[in-house]
Amino acid sequence: MPFSAEKALAVIPVFNHGATLRAVAEGTLAVHPRLLVVDDGSDEPAAPLLAGLPLTVLRHQTNRGKGAAITTAAAYALEAGFTHIITLDADGQHDPAQLPDFLARMALTPRAFIVGARDFAGAGDVPFSSRFGRGFSEFWMFIQTTRRVSDMQSGYRAYPLAALTRLKVRDRHYSFEIEVLVKAAWGGFEIAEIPVRVHYPKRSERVSHFRSFRDNFRITILNTRLTVRALIPVPFQGYAWDDGGRVSLLRPLASLKLLLEDRATAASLAASTFVAIVVCALPIPGFQSLLMLFLIAVFRFNRLWPLAVSQACLPPFMPAFCIEIGHFVNHGLWLTDISWRSLGLEVGQRFWDWLVGAAVGGGLAGGALALAVFAAARLIGRGLNKKAGRGRAAAEGGRP
């Protein structure tokens, strides 16, 4: 996905920030001429405050939440042909002069969600809720995804629309910004951070619509929901980029082709296949997905393919397979007595069967599938190389 600064739209969600909005908009236009303001039902409409400025204003008739404003901006930007949006707050907390820093990073990693990690040193009267919330959200992000993002609550960030519009984000308030990063990590998308300056005015001059009890309660409910989902032994859905395709075992060859075109290698795809199968076979219900995400990060695998491979390991099929294999290895015969006695009263023996079966059956199944993936990827890769070679020859005036 090539990046062009002309395809990036700056977005300012606003709700009752009349005192600071125009200065933020003017500062943004000074460095980036494409600006959208989403008025989220302000008591005093934002459009008259921005009269004469070359920008677009959209308005919600009622206050629907910051996440809803960002969703509205994303839909507008996509319809208008933009590929990215960069959001910054209307209260003057963020420095619009740093928009070029985002554009420079987006040029290097156009497919990444880029978060502006706030530098609190010299930032003024930083609220305790901001300092506490930053560490609190970083902790839960790691629990839910095994990824570390230092500033989950920063509103200064860039979204690639091709990724944002595929994520199923339910929250429409401040916690939208947390949920979207967790689900981006689950979906296999890259998350990057750049340092940004931030300024907090004196408490008496500050305009904030964050309500400690209400919004912290929403964040608590969100983290509970995301943590429960992270522990459910059902693999996360992975996404691809080109032509809207999704990496899936239901279309293995097309999926491998997408990944190889995205710089994956046959060896890495095979290795991640083996890891995905072995991890999903382990008798650790609720933790397979988290362990797999951790190993993906450690070995720098493409995140999409292991997520797709893990779809083949949905319970109860993989546990049943491992228990049968383990029972045969331990006792020399298959487990045919499926009853309360064999599955309930003898749960300790079944766990041991599962563990042995995961080591033997998971290893064999993972190895066989990894070899098949390696062979298929090599063949597809050769075809892509030949096609690329013919393209280069044609461009140089030779025969295709």
Q: How many CB atoms lie within 10 A of CB 249?
A: 13
Q: Is residue 239 part of a domain?
A: no
- Answer whether the bond into residue 316 is a cis peptide, omega within 30°: yes
pTM of the model: 0.72
Both 227 and 263 in a single domain? no
- Shared domain check, 318 and 214: no
Quickly list DSSP for 286-353: TTHHHHHHHHHHHHT--SHHHHHHGGGG-TTHHHHHHHHHHHHHHHSS-----SHIIIIITHHHHHHH
d(C-alpha 370, C-alpha 364), whole Å: 10
DSSP H helices in 80-127: 99-108
User: Of 5, 18, 23, 30, whose CA–CA distance to 199 is shortest?
Assistant: 23
Q: DSSP label at 38? A: E
The CB density around residue 293, as the number of other CB atoms within 10 Å, is 23
Half-sphere exposure of 90 (CA within 13 A, CB side): 27
Domain boundary among 202, 231, 260: 231
Q: Give the residue from 170, 199, 231 where a domain finishes.
A: 231
User: Residue 283 CB: number of other CB atoms within 10 A?
Assistant: 18
Instruction: Read off the CATH number of the domain in which 96 is found.
Output: 3.90.550.10
Task: Give pLDDT, residue 107.
Answer: 95
| DSSP one-letter string for 150-192 | S-TT---EEEEHHHHTTS-----STTHHHHHHHHHHHTT--EE
Residuewise pLDDT in 10s, the chain (400 residues): 568 999 999 999 999 998 899 999 999 999 999 999 999 999 999 999 999 999 999 999 999 999 999 999 999 999 999 999 999 999 999 999 999 999 999 999 999 999 999 988 866 667 766 777 788 889 999 888 888 899 998 999 999 999 999 899 998 888 899 999 999 988 888 899 999 999 876 655 555 555 565 667 888 899 899 988 887 767 777 665 544 456 777 788 888 888 888 778 999 999 999 999 999 899 987 788 778 878 887 888 877 788 788 877 777 888 899 999 999 999 999 998 888 888 888 889 999 999 999 999 999 999 999 999 999 999 999 988 887 777 666 666 655 4
Identify the pLDDT of residue 243.
Answer: 46
Task: Classify residue 223 as exposed, middle or buried by CB count within 10 Å of its CB (0-12, 13-18, 19+).
Answer: buried
With respect to residue 86, please indicate whether it lies within any of the assigned structural domains.
Answer: yes
Cβ-based neighbours of 176, under 8 Å, separated by 6 or more: 65, 66, 67, 68, 70, 71, 169
Domain ranges, residue 110: 5-231
pLDDT for residue 156: 97
Q: Is residue 202 part of a domain?
A: yes
Residue 140 lies in a domain: yes
Answer yes or no: do 249 and 223 share one domain: no
Residue 400: inside a domain, yes or no? no
Final residue of a structural domain among 207, 231, 255: 231
pLDDT attached to residue 202: 60
Are residue 325 and residue 200 in the same domain, yes or no?
Answer: no
**Is 310 in the same domain as 207?**
no
**For residue 236, is it within any domain?**
no
- Whether residue 37 is contained in a domain is answered as yes
Radius of gyration of the chain (CA): 25
For residue 237, being part of any structural domain is answered with: no
b/e code 75-113 from CB counts within 10 Å (16+ = b): ebbbeeebbbbbbbbbbbbbbbebbebbbebbeeebebb
d(CA 71, CA 135): 26
Clarify whether residues 312 and 389 are in a common domain: yes
* DSSP H helical ranges for the chain: 18-31, 66-79, 99-108, 128-145, 161-164, 176-186, 212-231, 252-261, 266-281, 288-299, 304-309, 317-331, 340, 347-357, 363-395
Residue 175 and residue 257 in one domain: no
> Do 28 and 152 have their domain in common?
yes
**Number of domains, the chain:** 2
3-state secondary structure of 96: helix
256 shares its domain with 202: no
Asked whether residue 167 falls in the same domain as residue 275, the answer is no
Using alpha carbons, select from 127, 263, 109 the residue that is nearest to residue 193.
Answer: 109
- How many angstroms separate the CA atoms of 229 and 11, rounded? 31
The length of the chain is 400
| Burial category of 54 from C-beta neighbours within 10 Å (exposed 0-12, middle 13-18, buried 19 and up) | exposed
Q: Looking at the structure, do residues 71 and 219 belong to the same domain, yes or no?
A: yes
Rounded Cα gap, residues 161 and 233, in angstroms? 29
Do residue 253 and residue 211 come from a single domain? no
Contact 82, 9 (CB under 8 A): yes
Q: Are 115 and 154 in contact (CB under 8 A)?
A: yes
